[in-house]
């Protein structure tokens, strides 16, 4: 009965099993897929849920700096708090991939509500470098 609170649902992205049935996932993996969906969806993309998602894409053209990292951390925390009530986000940290100026890793520490098991999700976020910077 692992993570009954989280539930079970279709995989994201949508997939089918070897025998042709719809693939499902549950527990922590389902929660991580839901969190990824929140962060990957821009508000307004869902016609019947126009506020759903995060404004993470607003940072695609921003240069890496401590201020931008703090703004990203705030956006991730606020979006997941609003749209993923099955988890409690305990920390968000943004770090730049060494040697790749356009790749940020967003480290999300969270706990599934009702449990005491700290988990982590690393969300890769790609930026577009300035013209002539490569």
The answer to whether position 119 is within a domain reads yes
> Is-cis flag, bond preceding 23, omega within 30?
no
As a whole number of angstroms, the longest Cα–Cα distance in the chain is 54
Q: Is residue 40 part of a domain?
A: yes
Residue 41 belongs to some domain of the structure: yes
Residue 63 lies in a domain: yes
Residue 80 lies in a domain: yes
Give residue 1's pLDDT band: very low, low, confident or very high (50, 70, 90): very low
pLDDT digits (tens, 9 = 90+) for 88-130: 999 999 999 888 888 999 999 999 888 888 899 999 998 887 6
CATH value at residue 119 = 3.10.450.40
The answer to whether position 131 is within a domain reads no
Alpha-carbon span 4 to 63, nearest angstrom: 42
Could you give the number of structural domains in the chain?
1
Q: Which two tokens stand for residue 59?
A: 């940072």
pTM over 0.85, yes/no: no
For residues 31 and 3, the answer to whether their CB atoms sit within 8 Å is yes
Q: Residue 17 domain-assigned?
A: yes
Q: Is residue 60 part of a domain?
A: yes
Between strands 87-96 and 24-26, the pairing is unpaired
Q: Which domain holds residue 106?
A: 8-126
| 111: helix, strand or coil | strand
Scan for tokens 């929140």, then name that residue.
38
Decide if 76 contacts 92 (C-beta within 8 A).
Answer: yes
């Amino acid at each position: 009965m692992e993570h009954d609170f989280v539930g079970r649902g279709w995989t994201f992205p949508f997939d089918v099993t070897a025998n042709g049935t719809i693939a499902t996932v549950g527990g922590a993996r389902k929660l991580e897929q839901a969190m990824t969906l929140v962060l990957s969806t821009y508000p307004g993309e869902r016609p019947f849920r126009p506020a759903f998602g995060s404004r993470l894409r607003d940072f695609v053209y921003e240069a890496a700096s401590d201020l931008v990292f703090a703004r990203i951390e705030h956006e991730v925390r606020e979006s997941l708090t609003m749209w993923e009530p099955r988890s409690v986000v305990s920390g968000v940290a943004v770090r730049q991939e060494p040697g790749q100026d356009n790749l940020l890793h967003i480290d999300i520490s969270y706990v599934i509500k009702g449990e005491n098991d700290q988990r982590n999700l690393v969300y890769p976020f790609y930026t577009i470098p300035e013209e002539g910077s490569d």
